[in-house]
Structure 1
Amino acid sequence: MTQTERYQDLPLEEVIGDRFGRYSKYIIQDRALPDARDGLKPVQRRILYAMHKEGNTNDKGFRKSAKTVGNVIGNYHPHGDSSVYEAMVRLSQDWKIRHMLIEMHGNNGSMDGDAAAAMRYTEARLSAISSELLRDIEKRTVEFIPNFDDTDMEPTVLPARFPNLLVNGSTGISAGYATDIPPHALHEVLDAVLMRMDNPQATVEQLMTVIKGPDFPTGGIIQGVDGIRKAYETGKGKIIVRSKADIEPIKGGKEQIVITEIPFEVNKANMIKKIDDYRFDRKLEGIADVRDETDRTGLRIVIELKKDVQATGILNYLYKNTDLQVSYNFNMVAIHKRRPTMMTLPTLLDAYIEHQKEIVTKRSEYDLQKANDRMHIVEGLIKALSILDKVIKTIRASKDKRDAKNNLRESFDFSEAQAEAIVSLQLYRLTNTDITDLQKEESDLRKLIDELTGILTSPAKLKKVIKKELAGIRKQFAEPRRSIIEDKIEEITITREVMIPSEEVVVSVTKEGYVKRTSIRSHAASNGQDFAMKESDYLLFEGNLNTQHTILIFTTGGNFVYQPINELPDIRWKDLGQHLSSIVPLDANESILAVYPVEDFDQDATVLTVSKLGQVKRSALKDYHVQRYSRAIKTMNLKKGDSMIFAGLMTTQNELFIGTHNAYGVRFPVEEIPVTGLRTAGVKGVNLKDDDYAVSAVMIDSEEKQDLVVVTHRGAAKKMKLQEFETGSRAKRGVVMLRELKSNPHRVVGVIGAGGGEEILLETAKGVRSPLPVSNLKTVDRYSNGSFILDEATDGKVVAVYRVEKKE
C-alpha cells in the first residue's frame, strides 16, 4: 500500500504565529517564571522532589550531585544536565538565596562569578528548611501529574510550608515576561502572612509595619522606602542598593575605604577590576591601591587612598560610577492560576494563604481517612477480644484463612477489614495489656477524629492550625535581618576636587593648537625660557593654574572645547605639546581663537562671541559647565560662509566695540545683546556693506582707561582714544576710523583694546613677524591712517595681528 503525501497550504505567518504562541505559553508556564504558591520554577521543583523521593534529605548523608542530576533528567526534566546542575548549584549559593534549599559539599562557585566544580566532584542534600517545602507531600496535599514519559508521577506544586517566593525571591526572563522578586527576611514575611490572615483587608501601609522591605543575602544598604511601597502596591518599583563601607585611618596620615557588604547579584571580581581601572587609567587620582581581602571570615575589599585625599568624595564617585551602588527594579510577575500575573504584596500573601488552606484541608482529609480506617480496625479488635473464646473457636473450626474470615463476618458481623486484622493478629496481642492499649488508642483516635473534623468544618480552626505551624517555622528558622533600610535615596554629588588632587601647573596653548600642562618644577628648571613650539607658531595662552580647574578653548568654527586641566597631557616645558585635534576632533579649517581658564562656573559672568558676518551673542558662563566633553561643543550657530572672530569672558565690561575690514567701528552697550543658550545664532551687532566683514571685537569697561589700536593690511598702526567713538546702539554701520584713500586704501586687519603695557605682534603673508609695543604709538584721531610699521613691498601684506601679554 503506497502512502499518499499530505500537505496543508497555510500562510507562513499563521504557522509561525501558532508555533511561537505554543512555545511562548510553554516557556511562560513551565520554565522561566515561578509559581506564586511555592515560589519555584519547574526545574527547581523537580530537583527538590527528586531529592526528597530518593531520601537525599537533611537528616542523612550527602550524595553525589551527578546522581541527583541523572535522576532528575531521567525521571522528570527531559533537558540538558547542565541546566539542571546550574539550577541545583544556585539553590545552594548563600549569596544568591536568602535561605539555601540545598546544602552542597565542594566548590559551588563564588561571588566572583567562578563556576562550580563539575557535578561529579560535588555532593549535595536537601537543607532543613527545604524539608518544610516538601512536608506532607505524601498526604495527597498537592496535585500530581504524569511525568514526560508516563512512567512516574510528579507534583504540580509543592506544599511549601513557608512563603518561599517572598523569602528567596526569584528572577527570570520568558517570552514577553520577565520577573524580579527580591528576597525577604523569613520572620518578616511570616509576620505579614499572619497579619493578612487576621485582617484580610490589611493595606500595604499596615503590612509594611512588619515587612520592612527586601532583605538580600549579601546585606547592603537599601534606600528608598517609597520605591518599596510602590512595588508592594503595584508590583513595580525601584530601590537603590549600596555597599556597606567604612572609612578607616591608616598610618602615614592616610585613609582607606573598607567594604564589607556589596549589592545583591553583583560580581565582586568585575566590580573590583572596574575600581582598579579607574586608578590605572588615572580617572580617579586619589586611589593608591585596591585589594580583595575576602577570606573564610567574610567579605572585605580595601581601597587604599593617597595622602590628603577626601575619602567621602572618592566613595561617592565609586557609588555613582561602579557597582558599589546599583538600582534594583521590582517586577513581581508570577504564575497565578496558570497565568503570568503582576503580583502585589497583598495578592502574593493571599495566593500563599489560599494555598496553605488547601494544603492543610487536604492533609486533614487524608489524616481523617487514615484515622477512620484505623478506628474501624481498633473497634473490631476490641470487640474480638471481648468475645475471644468464641472467635478462637470459630477460627479453629475453619478450613483456611479465607474461610476463617468469612465465618467471622457471618457469625459476629465483622467487616472484611476487621476480619483480616483479627486473623492476622499475633498470639502475644491477646494479653490483658493489649486490651488497655487498644482502648487508649481508641480514645486517642476519637480525639484526633474530632480535631480533624473540627479543622475541616471550622474555618477558624483551620486558620489557627496554619498560624500555629507558621509560628513554629518562624521560631525554628528565623534569622536576623541582613540589609539595612534607609528612608530616602541619597543624592550623590561629585565635585571635581574629590577626584583630582590639587596641584599647581603651568598650562600653555599655542595658536596652532598645541596644548600641554607642565609641572612647576619643569617650568622653573627652564626658567620659563626655551618653550618648545614650531617656528610658524606662537604662544596664545600661558598661565599658572590648578589641576582642579578647567580651560575653555574657543575656535573659529563657532565651537568651544571644555578641557579639564588634570586631563591635559603632562609634558616638559622644552617638549612640544599635544595637538588639540588628538584630544577632540576638529575641522581642518578650524583654528583657535581664545583660551580662558575657569575656576568657578557659577560666577556672575557671560561669554560673548562675535562672528565675521557681524552676529553677536551672549551666554551664561554656567552653561559652559558640561558633563560630556569628548568632542567640540557648539557655542554659536553660524551661517554657511561665516566664522567666529571673537570670544570673550565678560565680567565687569559693559560695552562692546566691533571693527570691520572696511574701517567702520561701532560701539554699543552689551545689555542690547540678550543672554541666550549655547546653540543660538545671536543677534546682529553691526550693519555691514556687501563687501565688508567684521575683523575684531573689543570688550570695554567704561570705568577704565582704554585705547584702541588699529592695524591695517599695508603695515600701518595707530592708537586712538576710545572717546573718538560715541556709544550708540547695535546693528548700526558705525563711524569710520581711517581716512579714506582713493588709491590703495587701508583695510583693517585687527583692532585691539590696549591699556598701554601690551605688545602687539604683526604677521605678514611672507611670514615676517614684527613686535610692536603699544607705548611706542602716539595717540591720533579717527581720520589719521597712523604710522607705517612694516613695508608692504618688502615684508608683504599684514594678514594677522595678535596681542601678546607682557610677562611680569
Structure 2
Amino acid sequence: LEVSVSYNVMALDGQRPMQLGIRDVFEHFRAHRIEVIQRRTQYDLDRALERLHILEGYLAALDRLDETIATIRGSKDTEEARGALEQLLSIDATQAQAILDLKLQRLTGMQIQDIRDEHGDLTAKVEDLRDILARPERQTSIMRDELLNLSDQHATARGSEIDNSLSKVSAADLIPEEQVMLIGTRNGYLKRLPADAMSRQNRGTKGRSIIALDDDDVVTTFHSGNSHDYLLALTDQGQVHAVKAYDVPDTGLGNRGRHYRNIYEGLEGDVVAMLTVPDLDSEQASLVIFTAGGYVKRTALSAFSGAKRRGGVQGIRLNDDDLIVCARISSDPESEEIVMTASGSRAIRYPLDEARAIGRTSQGVRGIRLKDGESVLSAEIVHQDSLDTSHLMVVTRKGVGKATPLTDFRLQSRGGQGVTAHAPNKKSGEMVAAAVIGPGVDVVLFTDEGGANRVAGSAVPKNGRATAGSSIIRQGSVTNLLAVPATEDGSLPSNED
C-alpha cells in the first residue's frame, strides 16, 4: 500500500487514441467483456437455430415415417426425392437433404428418442440464449462469474493480511523502534537523537556540536533507550513525570530542542535526571534514585504508574541543600551492586539489597559518606555476572580519562567512604564525571560549549585506581559523559573533526 506506480494508459477509443484514467480503463474493459459475451451468445444462438432447424425436419419425417420412406424409394434420383419430401412434409431443401443423409441406423427406437431429446434440450437452450441477449443484467452476471472463475484458477495467495479492525492500530504502532539519545540542558531544553546520529571519533579530538546552547546554558541530563520506552524525568523538587520517548521531538544535530514544559504537562522546577523504562506497571523492577548528598532510595516501579498524568507524582523527599544526581532501574536486587563516585575522587561499591525498598515520599538511606564540600558525581547499578567485564570510567574537567576494572574496588558496606578512584594532577584537573562501561559500549563526553565526542569504550585507556589517565577530548570543559550502545561496524575514523 506504500508503493506508488506511474501508469500511463494510451489506448484506442472509437478508433481514436485517447489517454484514459483508471475509471475509464475499467469502463472500457467492462464494455469489451459485455461485447464479447453478446457476440459469443449470438454465435451460439445461430449454431443452435441451425441445428434446431434440422431436428425439426427429422421430427416431421419421423411423424410420417412410412410415407417418407415410400417417397424416397419411389424417387428416381436424389433431386426428385428432395423435391418430393419438401412437398410431403412442408420443409425446405436443407431439411430435406438432411433427411436424405440420415442413416438407417438412426431409425431405431432408441435413436428416434435421442433425436426427440436433443430437440427438447436445444429448444430450451435457444430460449436461454435469447434471454441473455435480451437482458443486460444477465450479461453482467455472466461477466462477474467468469472473472471470479479466472481469479480462482489463476490468483496467487495474498502475501499480506487484510484486517478490518483498524481501531487496533494506534499511532504508536506506526512509530519505528530505535535506540535514541535524550539530552537536556540546565535552561530546560530537551532533544532526541538516534543513537547512531554521532559517528565514532578518535579520543583526543575536538568533538562535534550536537546541541545548540545559549551562553549561560550547559548539558545537565542525558540518557539512552528505546524510542517506545517511557522517558521518566525527575525534577529538582523530587517529582517524577513520564512520557513516551518518541514524544520528544527529534530536532537533529546542532539544534537546541524543545523546552521541557512543552513535553511534560504540569512540570514545575528543572529536570535533573532522566531514564527510560519499557513498562511503568512492573512489579519486579524498582526505581533507584541517587542524590548529591550521598543518599540512595529504592522504590517499586509500579508505585510510579501515575507519573503519566499531568503534574506527575512525588518520587523522593529532598533536604533543602540536596539534589538528585541520577536514577536507575533495578530488576534483581539480590544479584546487583551499586557503584557510586564522589567529587573527592573516591568510589564505593556495595550490595544493592542493603538499600531496602521504601515508599515514594521518603528520603532514602545513606549510600556513601561524604566529606565537607563533596558531592556524588554518578551512580550505577551493576549485575554481579558482569563485574569481571565492567570498568569504572572517570573523566576530568580537562578531558583526561581512564577506565579501571570494577573488581579493583573492593566490596564494602553501604554508607562507607569508599576508596580512591582517580589521582588528580595539574594536567588532568579534578574528576567531574564517571560511568560504568562494559563490552559493546561507546562513551559520549559532553562539554560546556555544547560539544560532544563519541569514543569506543574499548579505546578508553585502562589504568589502575590511583592514576590520572590520558586525554580523551581537548576542547571545552567536560561536564558529563554518557554510555551508549556501540556502533555496528565498530570502526574508528582517522580524520579529526
Q: What TM-score do the two structures reach when normalised by structure 1?
A: 0.34
Pick aligned residue for 1:554 from 234, 241, 245? 234
Is residue 687–residue 731 contact of structure 1 (8 Å, CA) maintained in 2? Answer: yes
Q: Rate the CA distance shift 1:776–1:635 in 2: closer, same or farther, 3 A.
A: same
Amino acid at match of 1:750: A
Displacement of 1:720 in angstroms is 0.5
Displacement of 1:766 in angstroms is 4.5
1:728 lines up with 2:417 in the alignment: no
> What is the aligned partner in structure 2 of residue 666 from structure 1?
348
Q: Which runs of 5+ in 1 are unaligned?
A: 1-251, 255-305, 310-496
> What is the aligned partner in structure 2 of residue 626 from structure 1?
306
Q: Rate the CA distance shift 1:719–1:635 in 2: closer, same or farther, 3 A.
A: same
> What is the aligned partner in structure 1 of residue 13 from structure 2?
none
Amino acid at match of 1:584: E
1:688 lines up with 2:361 in the alignment: no
> What is the aligned partner in structure 2 of residue 644 from structure 1?
324
RCO higher in structure (CA 8 A, sep ≥6): 2
SS in 2 for 1:625: helix
1:535 lines up with 2:227 in the alignment: no
Q: Distance in 2 between matches of 1:779 and 1:716?
A: 12
> How many residues are aligned here?
301
Amino acid at match of 1:703: D
Pick aligned residue for 2:166 from 280, 296, 307? 307
Amino acid at match of 1:672: E
Displacement of 1:578 in angstroms is 4.4
Deviations 1:645-669 (A, max 9, x none): 1100112451001100011111110
Q: Distance in 2 between matches of 1:685 and 1:801?
A: 22
SS in 2 for 1:609: strand
Q: Rate the CA distance shift 1:668–1:676 in 2: closer, same or farther, 3 A.
A: same
Amino acid at match of 2:464: D
Amino acid at match of 1:621: L
Is residue 620–residue 675 contact of structure 1 (8 Å, CA) maintained in 2? Answer: yes
Q: Distance in 1 between matches of 2:248 and 2:292?
A: 33
SS in 1 for 2:234: strand
Displacement of 1:594 in angstroms is 2.2
Is residue 506–residue 517 contact of structure 1 (8 Å, CA) maintained in 2? Answer: no
Q: Which runs of 5+ in 2 are unaligned?
A: 1-161, 200-208, 214-218, 489-497
Q: What TM-score do the two structures reach when normalised by structure 2?
A: 0.53
> What is the aligned partner in structure 1 of residue 290 from structure 2?
610
Q: Rate the CA distance shift 1:591–1:764 in 2: closer, same or farther, 3 A.
A: same
Q: Distance in 1 between matches of 2:466 and 2:251?
A: 49
1:216-295 equivalences under 5 Å are 254=164
Displacement of 1:677 in angstroms is 1.2
Q: Distance in 1 between matches of 2:197 and 2:477?
A: 32
Deviations 1:657-711 (A, max 9, x none): 1100011111110111010111111001111001111101121111112111111
1:635 lines up with 2:315 in the alignment: yes
Q: Distance in 1 between matches of 2:480 and 2:198?
A: 25
Q: Distance in 1 between matches of 2:258 and 2:402?
A: 37
Q: Distance in 2 between matches of 1:757 and 1:731?
A: 32
Q: Distance in 2 between matches of 1:785 and 1:570?
A: 39
Q: Rate the CA distance shift 1:578–1:780 in 2: closer, same or farther, 3 A.
A: closer
Q: Distance in 2 between matches of 1:770 and 1:572?
A: 19
Displacement of 1:748 in angstroms is 1.7
Displacement of 1:613 in angstroms is 0.5
| Identical counterparts, % of pairs | 20
Displacement of 1:712 in angstroms is 1.5
> What is the aligned partner in structure 2 of residue 584 from structure 1?
265
Amino acid at match of 1:783: A
SS in 2 for 1:696: strand
Deviations 1:137-164 (A, max 9, x none): xxxxxxxxxxxxxxxxxxxxxxxxxxxx
Deviations 1:530-588 (A, max 9, x none): 9x97434797435242xxx643233454332122569x378787998643212324445
Is residue 607–residue 649 contact of structure 1 (8 Å, CA) maintained in 2? Answer: yes
Q: Distance in 1 between matches of 2:211 and 2:192?
A: 17
Q: Distance in 2 between matches of 1:767 and 1:673?
A: 36
- After superposition, the CA RMSD in angstroms is 3.7
1:60-99 equivalences under 5 Å are none
1:597 lines up with 2:277 in the alignment: yes
1:84-233 equivalences under 5 Å are none
Q: Distance in 2 between matches of 1:621 and 1:595?
A: 12
Which has the larger displacement, 634-643 or 623-632? Answer: 623-632
Amino acid at match of 1:510: I
Amino acid at match of 1:645: V
Displacement of 1:635 in angstroms is 1.1
Q: Distance in 2 between matches of 1:698 and 1:534?
A: 25
> What is the aligned partner in structure 2 of residue 703 from structure 1?
385
1:510 lines up with 2:183 in the alignment: yes
> What is the aligned partner in structure 1 of residue 62 from structure 2?
none
Pick aligned residue for 1:748 from 431, 436, 443? 431
> What is the aligned partner in structure 1 of residue 446 from structure 2?
763
SS in 2 for 1:775: helix
Is residue 604–residue 651 contact of structure 1 (8 Å, CA) maintained in 2? Answer: yes
